[in-house]
């Protein structure tokens, strides 16, 4: 894989940012499906009807759970502060 180069030899920021993304995969007994820069790749045979869709659903659930994490409640925050954590 080649990276685009500017005239001074440094990597193109646009190209470098295109690689700055999360990748994920799904594994079965005789199967491995994974995301790449070029799309979704599969090795072996999956017992799932649509492994790519299942992986997207799992990834969405993880992102959703991460986005719901917020600050702690007032009482818990006070306790953490008393313990020196905040």
Whether residue 48 is contained in a domain is answered as yes
What is the count of structural domains for the chain?
A: 1
Structure-block tokens of residue 82: 């008393």
In this prediction, residue 62 carries a pLDDT of: 74
Whether residue 41 is contained in a domain is answered as yes
- Give the rounded percent of residues in the chain with a pLDDT score beyond 90: 13
Q: Which residue has the higher pLDDT, 68 or 52?
A: 52
Whether residue 33 is contained in a domain is answered as yes
Whether residue 4 is contained in a domain is answered as no
Q: Starting at the earlier edge strand, list the strands of the sheet with 39-44.
A: 25-28, 31-36, 39-44
* Total length of the chain: 86
Nearest CA to 58 out of 13, 27, 14, 12 is that of: 27
For residue 41, the enclosing domain spans: 22-68
pTM score of the predicted model? 0.50
Whether residue 77 is contained in a domain is answered as no
Whether residue 55 is contained in a domain is answered as yes
What DSSP character marks residue 2? Answer: P
Query: 25-67 pLDDT, tens per residue?
Result: 888 889 999 988 888 999 999 988 899 998 888 888 776 665 6
């Amino acid at each position: 894989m080649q990276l685009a180069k500017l005239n001074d030899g440094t990597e193109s920021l646009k190209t470098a940012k295109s690689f700055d993304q999360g990748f994920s995969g799904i594994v079965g007994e005789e199967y491995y499906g994974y995301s790449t820069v070029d799309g979704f790749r599969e090795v072996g045979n999956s017992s799932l009807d649509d492994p790519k869709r299942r992986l997207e659903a799992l990834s969405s659930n993880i992102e959703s759970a991460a986005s719901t994490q917020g600050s702690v409640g007032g009482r818990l925050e006070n306790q953490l502060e008393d313990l020196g954590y905040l």
